[in-house]
Structure 1
Amino acid sequence: MKLIDLKVHEFMTVLGSNEPAPGGGSAAALSATMGASLVKMVAELTKGKKKYVEFEELTHEVLVEATRLQDELLQSIDKDTEAFNEVSAVFSMPKETEEHKAARREAMQKALQGAAISPFNMMTLMVATLKVTEKAVGKSNVNAVSDLGVAALNLKAGLQGAWLNVLINLSGIKDETFVKTYREKGEALLTEGCTIADRVYEEVLKLV
């Protein structure tokens, strides 16, 4: 069964157990998914309202994008655990001969790269969602403006959490070009996303 098919209590139980996965990566994806869901909710509460008719086109755009990103982030919860499981599977490979050991090393490097790419991909989705969130600030239902602030906080937490998961996997990868590329791209996403999240939060504070 997929993690996203579990009830909230069931998910939290397995998350808090001694199982190594799901862990921080899936938790980061969950946090960001909640953020996207809140943005979608705000758009739903704004569309069709006469008071916000001048923003109807923007509201539709936000709703469509938030819905898409909500689904992609939701899928990331399981994708991250699946990537971690690929790393764990390497430890079950035979290691009796030099050939076995070489195969294990190669498999581990490939698995670690996958485990780094998974949270990096989350980061791109989170930054995209933060951009959509910012579009709605001041142009959506005033009664739900605080929800946009909470969305930004959830997305920022998810972004920072995903970055930690990128870093911990990069630390075991020997391909220097791969590490340099994903470190630089990840740092750029982190800076961009955190800047947007902080800006959204500050704007929401002025409106509540």
Structure 2
Amino acid sequence: MALTMMVNGLTLDKKGFENDRERLLDAIAKGNELKERFIDVMNRDSEVFDVLIESLALPKDDDEHKAIRRGAVQASFRNCTLVPLTMMEICSEAIDLCAGLVGTTNPNVVSDLGIAALTLKTAMESAWLNVLINLSSLKDKAFRDECCQKGEALLAHAVPIAQESYEKVIKVITEK
């Protein structure tokens, strides 16, 4: 998000973009909101992982303890799945924002939009790996299927947009 916001900032007062001021300010506001959401989900990822570690350390001395532990572990893996799935949603929104700026901002810093698109795509794919590894520990098939469908839909939407943004950036640079 920092690169996308930097490009907006460097375009905002540039000659020739005076008529784009409101659009750029809106993009900066959306970028700030996404940045805060990224920070929140990163913090939550650490928190839910800590809870998972605690649940794995619960006693399993007898059947009652084993049942309590099993329930806590499953709940923890569920939360450890939902957080990176949320990260994927935020990445998708950020990719959409980035894509809408390519070709409409300061061409001298357009490469940063390409880098942002690729970085966001990689972050999204990395979050997907975390979703998949956590789903592999869950017994709830309906939940697994729902998360898989959601994650695959997010990837199907955002990955091509990120790639198109990257290719559009190359075109803008090479046609200068």
TM-score range, shorter chain: over 0.9
Identify unmatched segments of 5+ residues in structure 1. Answer: 1-35
Give distance in 2, aligned partners of 1:148 and 1:167: 29
Work out whether 1:157 is the aligned partner of 2:122: yes
User: How far is 1:60 from its partner?
Assistant: 1.2
When the two chains are superposed, the root-mean-square deviation of aligned CA atoms in Å is: 0.9
Tell me the residue number matched to 2:69.
104
What letter matches 1:111 in structure 2? S
1:96-147 per-position Cα deviation (integer Å, ceiling 9, x unaligned): 1110000000001100000000000000000000010011111111111000
Tell me the residue number matched to 1:141.
106
User: How far is 1:95 from its partner?
Assistant: 1.0
Identify unmatched segments of 5+ residues in structure 2. Answer: none
Tell me the residue number matched to 1:128.
93
User: How far is 1:50 from its partner?
Assistant: 2.8
1:151-186 per-position Cα deviation (integer Å, ceiling 9, x unaligned): 001101000000000000001111111111010000
Tell me the residue number matched to 1:7.
none
Q: Percent identity?
A: 37
Q: Which has the larger radius of gyration?
A: 2
Give distance in 1, aligned partners of 2:133 and 2:57: 21
Give distance in 1, aligned partners of 2:42 and 2:86: 12
Tell me the residue number matched to 2:17.
52
- Map 1:53-92 → 2, pairs under 5 A: 53-92=18-57
What letter matches 2:117 in structure 1? A
- Map 1:157-196 → 2, pairs under 5 A: 157-196=122-161
User: How far is 1:49 from its partner?
Assistant: 2.4
Count of residue pairs brought into register by the alignment: 173
Contact 1:62 1:135 survives alignment (8 Å): no
TM-score, normalised to structure 1, is 0.81
TM-score, normalised to structure 2, is 0.95
Work out whether 1:202 is the aligned partner of 2:148: no
Work out whether 1:114 is the aligned partner of 2:82: no
